[in-house]
Amino acid sequence: MKPRATGTRRPRKTRFSVTFSEGASRALITVGGIGTIAAVALIFVFLLWVVVPLFTAPTVEAAERLSAGSLEAPRAVLIDEYQLLASTLDADGTLRTFDFASGEKIGERKPLEQRPSAVSLSPEGRDFAAGFEDGSVRIGRFGYRSYFPPEAELAPELRAIEDGVVVRYEDGVLQRVQDGALRFQGIDVELSDPLSMRKSTPIERIAHTARDDGMVLCVWTDGGLIFVETEERTNFLTGEVVLDLSETELAYEPDPSRGTPDYLLLVGRGDNVLLLWEDGRLERVDVRDPESASVVEVVDVVPADGEVVTALSFLIGKSTLVVGDSTGAVRSWFRIKPEAAGTPDGTVFVPAHRFGSTGSAVTALAPSPRSRLISVGREDGTVQIYQATTEALLVELEVGPDAIRALSMSPKEDGLCVLTAADEVMRWDMDPRHPEADLTALFAPVWYEGYEQPAHVWQSESGTDEFEPKLGFLPLIYGTLKATLYSMLFGAPLALFAALYTSEFLSRRLRTPIKSIIEMMASLPSVVLGFLAALVIAPVAQTVVPATLVSFVTLPLALLLGAYLWQLLPQRLSIRWSGWQRLCCMGLALPVGVLSALALGPWVEGLLFAGNIELWLDGQRGNGVGGWLILLLPLCALLWTLFGGRALGPWMRRRSANWSRHQCAVLDIAKFGVGIAASIGVALLVSSLLDGAGYDPRGSYVGTYVQRNALIVGFVMGFAIIPIIYTLAEDALSSVPEHLRLASLGAGATPWQTAVRVIVPTAMSGLFSAVMIGLGRAVGETMIVLMATGNTPVMDMNIFNGFRTLSANIAVELPEAVQNSTHYRALFLAALVLFAMTFTLNTLAELVRLRFRKRAVQL
């Protein structure tokens, strides 16, 4: 109780409303803070939950085993997509089908009436072409047919089948599926009528491949090498499909000492023929024009002496050839197009990948029918499954002591079927998970099919099943950093200098409206800025590229020249006009700089860029002096500024100590002019020396001009981050205690010296925080970079080229990604990488900010 003036005591008690408000506020702030931390943590946990399956190991589980009886030189083993049936194909064309559930043979047929003398199987073992002794050819396809028979037509015991039970029915099996229907699964063979060649000589080797307009064949006979193109033609009267043959006897002269090649292959869509002998000699014949076909390259696919080819197969797409040899080595080969190929067709057959060797001879190879997996069977009874792009070993199985004779992967890639030398057929349930997205593929250079060398590439989708996914993250991370760099180079200096001017030099009456106008810039949606950048700014900038480059010089020069000319005004007048008059003069300097750039642009283009800057950037004309000048001119200007401040400044202050204001202003203008001339002269001299030494900057930070490029993004996204940096920086500068300003001014410092040496160091923690928040805004920007960059995931420092950022990539591809697919999870990994980048940047920024804050406290 405290005595009142009247002598009575007043009770000291806080009102309930105040206590309640304080408690409620504290609770809300606590809940909000904890909720924010929890939300960020949950986002991180969710991203991890989606991404972790990318890196889980594949699983394989033995399922069933059956005896195939006695097989005569089996050529292939097949398995249906539901893994209910297995089929074996013998060298004589006998096709046997087995039921995994009962382990019994449910059918045997011989679709070819006579024994083929040569057989060609597609990589997945479905399509085939058979040649015969009489010179005829038949084309066919193995397949498994499925249909749902009406239950009313089935026997009662079949209608009573329970879910998951498999029973034999006709030449296949019946199974009741999850929706209650009965599904029939059986083998089916489609076979063409015999196709007669012009020469009835025995066919010793045959190869086939499919084109959009028909089948392409190549046969080896005693008469030579014959290239056959087929075209399907439908009789419009009968509806019958007829195959028309077009035969070309290739001008190929075999080496009599080598005899018949052991393997005959057609690459891709049939533009190359490969002749391969057991000792590893491979001859590549260019048949793009069959009339003038010739051997364009000879390579050795088993370089070591004594090795022999024991198995080979194409991967899906028939562009990559996988070769296994007697030492157990497995290599993949494909064609590339280097600049110095040295071959008539400009391509070279190269060994791109080598898979692990166990020392046991390779006896069977089987590619996946839907991805880049390859299964390898060996003489010691082991099986390995590799990812052909990354060379990663996914699965290794010990099947038994008997050699592997044939392999097959199910169409859904969820099963593996193996035929051993003991004529046993075994099946494994398999889940390869996401083998194409391991750490090597994501963050290391990978040698992709058709590329000259390992590279970082992002290309997640294509229009064909043979597409090789390319999930390199470095182009996306590079694009994110590139967008951030150029936008910060443009936006951060403008925002910081604007904040410094507003806080320290602009009159208080104008400070609030100017700050409000700049803050209103933040209200513009990024999609609007991106739209303007893509459809307005980028096309206009392309028509005035030289003027745009010159404007980066003329605009600062116009402002600086205006500042120096302002010093010529009488002191009383300059003080009186320090408000809106000076601001208007600064505004007039901008159009002067723009008009000067437009006027000087064509002259600079003719002088430095050979009259056409786009052709110059593409390397078609001119030398590299102009490119070096773009880089060196700002550096020379910076060096002159440092030299003028450290060396000339003290000398000029001593000499002009007793000069008038007008004389000092004239001296500053003269110094400014000398600095411009010296910077341009030194930059031109160094640029000429570098160009004379053979160094051309084209292809590095400058290069081919693309309309939507980093320069446009830097300007527009810099415009987007200016309000954020400006607002926070101005608040930080304005919050510096007023007594520090007064003390500095009272000690005789000028307003500029006070701003640079007192205010800025004191507010450095706030300024740094403003820059880092702007940096975070630039890193996470989506719509501007999506619409204004061309959205091309390339690793190119060229300021006139586009790029793709992590955020834009997520926005573009996530709506099209199949849920839980490799592509889907890789996009969530991109989000996690972006999360980690911003988290790391913010953490480092906070550490630096705390250091600046400690230094500021000492003031």
Most distant CA atoms of the chain, gap in Å: 134
E strand or H helix at 613, and its extent? helix 613-617
Does residue 678 carry a pLDDT above 80? yes
Q: Which residues make Cβ contacts (< 8 Å) with residue 675, sequence separation at least 6?
A: 637, 640, 641, 644
Question: For residue range 75-90, what is the model confidence (pLDDT) as tens digits?
Answer: 889 999 999 999 988 8
Burial label for 204, CB within 10 Å (0-12, 13-18, 19+), is middle
Q: Give me the pLDDT at residue 434, please.
A: 92
Question: For residue range 157-204, what is the model confidence (pLDDT) as tens digits?
Answer: 888 888 888 888 888 888 888 778 888 999 888 888 888 888 788 999
Question: For residue range 495-518, what is the model confidence (pLDDT) as tens digits?
Answer: 999 999 899 888 888 888 888 888
Task: Please state, in angstroms and as integers, the Cα–Cα distance from residue 846 to each residue in 30, 390, 733, 840, 852, following that order.
Answer: 22, 39, 18, 10, 10
SS3 state of residue 251: coil
Distance CA 493, CA 646 (A): 22
Closest by alpha carbon to 360, among 402, 322, 320, 393? 402
Please give the torsion angle defined by the CA atoms of residues 762, 764, 765 and 770, in that order, rounded to the nearest 10 degrees.
130
4 confidence band (pLDDT: 50, 70, 90): low
Tokens matching residue 250: 């290739």
The average pLDDT across 433-446 equals: 91
Q: For residues 833-854, b (16+ Cβ closer than 10 Å) or e, as one string?
A: bbbebeeeebeebeeebeebee
**DSSP-assigned letters across all residues of 426-494:** EEEEEE---GGGSHHHHHS-B--TT-SS-B--EE---SSTT---EE-SHHHHHHHHHHHHHHHHHHHHH
Q: For residues 306-320, b (16+ Cβ closer than 10 Å) or e, as one string?
A: ebebbbbbbbbbbbb
Q: Which residues make Cβ contacts (< 8 Å) with residue 536, sequence separation at least 6?
A: none
Closest by alpha carbon to 401, among 385, 422, 417? 422
Task: Please state, in angstroms and as integers, the Cα–Cα distance from residue 516 to each residue in 165, 374, 510, 583, 778, following that order.
Answer: 75, 64, 10, 16, 22
The single-letter DSSP state of residue 292 is G
Does residue 858 carry a pLDDT above 70? no
Q: Give me the pLDDT at residue 331, please.
A: 94
Tokens matching residue 6: 């009247």
Question: For residue range 591-619, what is the model confidence (pLDDT) as tens digits?
Answer: 888 999 999 999 999 988 988 999 999 98
pTM here is 0.88
Q: What is the mean pLDDT of the chain?
A: 87
Angle at 839 between CA 835 and CA 842, to 5 degrees: 140
Burial label for 624, CB within 10 Å (0-12, 13-18, 19+), is buried
**Which residue's structure tokens are 């003991």?**
422
Q: Give me the pLDDT at residue 856, please.
A: 65
Question: For residue range 115-145, what is the model confidence (pLDDT) as tens digits?
Answer: 899 999 888 777 889 999 888 898 888 888 8
Tokens matching residue 745: 């001014």
Q: Give me the pLDDT at residue 383, please.
A: 94
Q: Give me the pLDDT at residue 3, please.
A: 56
275 confidence band (pLDDT: 50, 70, 90): very high
Q: Which residues make Cβ contacts (< 8 Å) with residue 343, sequence separation at least 6?
A: 296, 297
Closest by alpha carbon to 541, among 719, 706, 720? 706
SS3 state of residue 519: helix
Q: Give me the pLDDT at residue 11, please.
A: 62
The average pLDDT across 213-232 equals: 85
The backbone region for 268, taken as left when phi is positive above 0, alpha when psi lies in -120 to 50, beta otherwise, is left
Q: For residues 486-504, b (16+ Cβ closer than 10 Å) or e, as one string?
A: bbbebbbeebbebbbbbbb
